[in-house]
Amino acid sequence: MQAMQKNTLAVEILKNLIVAIITSGVIAAPRMATFFIFVMMVIIIGLPYWLYTAYKIPEKRLPFLINSMVWAITLSIALGVHTWRAYVVSQEADIIIFKIQKYEQKNGLYPKSIEDIGLSREYLRKKLGMSGYSLYEPNEPHFIYADTRMPFATYSYDFAAKKWLHQTD
Residue with the larger pLDDT of the pair 136 and 164: 164
Q: For residue 105, name the pLDDT band (cuts at 50, 70, 90).
A: very high
What pLDDT digit, counting tens, does each position of 63-89 carry? 889 999 999 999 999 999 999 999 999
Task: Say whether pLDDT at 169 is over 80.
Answer: no
Helix (H) or strand (E) holding 157, with range, is strand 154-158
Displacement of CA 106 from its chain's centroid (Å): 36
The Cα 39–Cα 24 span in angstroms is 9
